[in-house]
Every structure is written in structure tokens, then in C-alpha cells.
Amino acid sequence: MITRLTIKNFKKISFLDIHPTGNVVEITGRNSSGKTSVTDGIWTLLLGKSKAGDCPIKEGANTAELTLETEDYRAERKFRKNLHGKTVTELHVWLKDGQMINRPQEFLSGLMGDAYYDPSDFLRAKPEERVEMLKKALSFDFTDLEDEVTRIHSERHEKGKEERLVEGELRAYSDVPDSVTPVRPRDEIIADISKIDSLFEKERDSKNLMEKDRAKIKALTAKTFNIGKDRDLANTEIAKLEQRKNTLLLNIERLDTEEKLAIEELEAMQSEVKTGYVVSEGDKAMKVALMAELQKNHESERMVERRKQRDRLKERYLSLQRERQELTREKDALLQKRRDVLANAELPIKGLSFGERDILINGLPLSNASASEQIKVAASINMKMDSDLKIMRILDGSLLDNKGLEDIKKFADENGVNVWIETVLRDKSQNCLILSDGQVQQ
């Protein structure tokens, strides 16, 4: 801990030389009295010029000096302005035996280790970063466990997406009944329809043949008519040309024979045309019934196939649900394993635990806690950090209630941490350092 602190012309402090006793040093005073300049001085001395701000030298002075002593070493940092008006600094560190440290800033930064000087740094961090800080403070390594939780969470998320897609596909099969009425095999129906179709084909062939026969009948009718005319002409010629009688008679005889044959052929064809093949009304009705049966068979087969597809989707949906539930159980088991480890750990504050993305205090996110509770948690975690130089400041000490302040003092004593707390002016009977206009009043 710091056994002596000397500040000269640094920010608002003109001169201060104190020998703190105890682990907790309370600095109080009105606003702008120089309280923060004291803790800034410690911070600057330990962590470097970058913590000093733009104007570390008190207005009206040319130099500033910061000196800090512990049981093991003495550190000194000086500020001055060079010829160009720029502020420069030099740092020296000596061990108690007088040996000077060659790399003083590296030495002091190494003493601070993982600890942070100001708990407000912890409170300003992102929730995920706060979780990591607490795990580091307690030397917890959940990397493998959390990687497995992340893997399961990702896989469970993908299963959920697929489950929703399958569920959407299942809705398209809401019209499929659980059972389908059996019908005759499709091949039998088609075979029966083919038989009926062959009868219609036969009917069409018969009609075509009848049309051809009618054309022949028409031609034979015309031929018969012409033969009659020719016979009449022949008779006329017989009367006129007796000398051609015998020839014409032979011709008439031939024509009579042809006429007879034509008439016989005509009568035969007329008889055949009258008796051409016609599909019966019963066969026609049968085809209509078979076509209806075929349509019903098609609908039945389609419904059977849709039911099979629905059943496959339903089985996949249930399988995904089971897989996702199993992944949920695995994830819960891993999280419970982490909770069990934490339950057996020595946490710095009662009620402190890990959430998935933030630190919890009494089961609620840290950001929901009171300002006093938040400061107390941040300070207690810092006290657990790995550090050779256990020192920190609390800027918002006025936000701590009496119990919070007592808890901080208790934590500091238990962990050997030097805590510098800034508060607005308190009762002078309290054991504290009171500042006014950069000077110690008591």
C-alpha cells in the first residue's frame, strides 16, 4: 500500500504531503476542491503521462512533482515545460535499497497487472467484457464449455429454422385424409376403357366404309341410268338402222347382263350399308362410367402419394423437435454445470453470479442495481484481480451509502487493497482527508 504521497503543483493541488494509515483513504471536500487531482496524481504517476490530461502543471507554476512511496519502492514523476512550451515528464523508481529501476514505467505497469485503477472502467465496459473480467479475476476458464454451448445454440437454431420450414410444408397437406377409400387398379380400368375404345374405332371404320360404299352406289346408280339411256338409243338405232340390228342386239344383251350384275351388286351393298356396325348405347354408357372411375382412381392415387409425403414430413418435423429438445437439454446441462462451478466458487460479493451475457447481482443484470451496489461490485471484483500493486480509486464515493462504504472497507482489509475514495464534503468528525482549494484542511 502507499505509505506516503507527495504532490506539488499538480492540477489543482498546490502542495500535499500525507502518510496514509489503513487500507482505505477517504478524500472529501466540496466540488472543485482538488479531490480528483489527488487520485489523478496517483494514476498519472503509476500509469504514465497520458493519464495526466492536457494541463498537469498547476496554473502559475513551471513544474509539478509527484512522489509515491510503498514498503518496497519509491516512485517520482516530474513535469516541466520545455523551450517550446510543451510539457515533458521524467519518471524515476528506486527500490528500498536505493537501486534505481532501469525501465520504471514498465516496472510500475507490471505491478498493476490485470487490475484496473478505477472501478468505473469496469462499469463502462460492455456486459460481455464485464463477464470476462470477473472470470479472469476468479481464474475461471469456461472456454471449452462456452464453445460447446455456442455450438449447441447454433445447431439448435438451425434445427428450429428447418422445423419451421417443414411445418410450413406440412400446412400444404392439410387436405389429406388419414385414410383413402380403395378403388380398382388403374390398369384394369384402362384395359376396360381400351376395349370400349376399340368398339368406337370399329364404329368409325364402319362409317368410313359406308361412306365409300355410298359413293360406289351413287356411281352404279349413275351407270345404270346411263345404261338405260344407251339402251333407248340402241332401240332407236335398231329402228333406224336395221343393218346394225344384230350388232346392237348383242350389245343390248351385254348391257342387260351388266345391268343385272350392277343391280345385284347395288342391292348387296345397300343391304350391307343398312347393317353397318354401331356402338351400342350400353357400351357408350360403360365408357362414361369407366372414365369417371379412372378419374376417381387418379385422385385416389394422388391422395395416397400426398399422404405418404405428409407422413414423411410429419416424421421429419417430429424428429427435428426431438433433436432440438435434446440440444436444449444438452445446453441446459452445460449451463447448469457452469452454475454449479460458480455456486462452489468464492465470489467476492454475496448474490453475484454469471448470466449468459452479463454479470448478475441477486439474479438481475448489474446495470439494474443501484449506483452504490454497482460500485461495490466493481470494486470487489478489482480487488480479486492479479496485481502486485493493489491500489484503486473510487471517484463516485458519494454514491455509496454507509453500508456500501463499510463493505468497501471490509473488502479492502480482507484483500490488502489500498482504496482511495472521493466523496463530497462529509462530517469532519469522520476519519478522512478534507481538501479545500487544493490544500489539506484536516
Alpha helices, DSSP H, located in 344-397? 371-383
Band (pLDDT 50/70/90 cuts) for residue 348 is: low
The enclosing domain of 440 has a CATH number of: 3.40.50.300
Q: Is 5 helix (H, G, I), strand (E, B) or coil?
A: strand
Residue 59, all three cell numbers: 496554473
Residue 312 lies inside a defined structural domain of this protein: yes
Q: What is the pLDDT of residue 270?
A: 67
Does residue 202 belong to any structural domain of this protein? yes
- Alpha carbon of residue 418 to chain centroid: 47
* 132 & 31 share domain: no
108/2 same-domain check: yes
Instruction: Please name the amino acid found at residue 7.
Output: I
Q: Per the domain annotation, does 169 fall within a domain? A: yes
Query: Would you say residue 26 lies in a domain?
Result: yes
The total of structural domains in the chain comes to: 4
pLDDT tens figures, 235-272 = 777 677 666 667 767 777 777 787 788 777 777 776 66
Q: What is the pLDDT of residue 79?
A: 92
- Is 58 in the same domain as 82? yes
Assess whether 440 and 379 both reside in one domain: no
CB atoms within 10 A of CB 394: 27
Q: Is residue 190 part of a domain?
A: yes
Q: Does residue 357 form part of some domain?
A: yes
Together in a domain, 397 and 331: no
Residue 430 has pLDDT above 50, yes or no: yes
Buried b / exposed e over 22-48, threshold 16 CB at 10 Å, is ebbbbbbbeeebbbbbbbbbbbbbbee
Instruction: Assess if residue 181 is contained within a domain.
Output: no
What is the C-alpha separation between 189 and 122, in angstroms, rounded? 82
Residue identified by cell 492536457 is 54
Which residues constitute the domain of residue 358? 118-140+346-386
* CA of residue 83 relative to chain centroid, distance: 61
Q: Is there a single domain that holds both residue 52 and residue 109? A: yes
Domain assignment present for 438: yes
Same structural domain, 171 and 305: yes
Query: Using 50, 70 and 90 to split pLDDT, how confident is the model at 278?
Result: confident
Are 334 and 411 in a shared domain?
no
Query: Mean of the per-residue pLDDT values for the chain?
Result: 82
Overall pTM > 0.85: no
- What are 199-242's pLDDT values in tens digits? 888 888 888 888 888 888 888 888 888 888 888 787 777 677 66
Residues 328 and 247 in one domain: no
Question: Is the predicted pLDDT of residue 5 greater than 90, yes or no?
Answer: yes
Same domain, 197 and 254: yes
Distance CA 234, CA 241 (A): 10
Are 52 and 1 contained in the same domain? yes
Residues 308 and 358 in one domain: no
Mean pLDDT of 270-292: 76
Task: Work out whether the CA dihedral 107, 111, 114, 118 comes out positive or negative.
Answer: negative
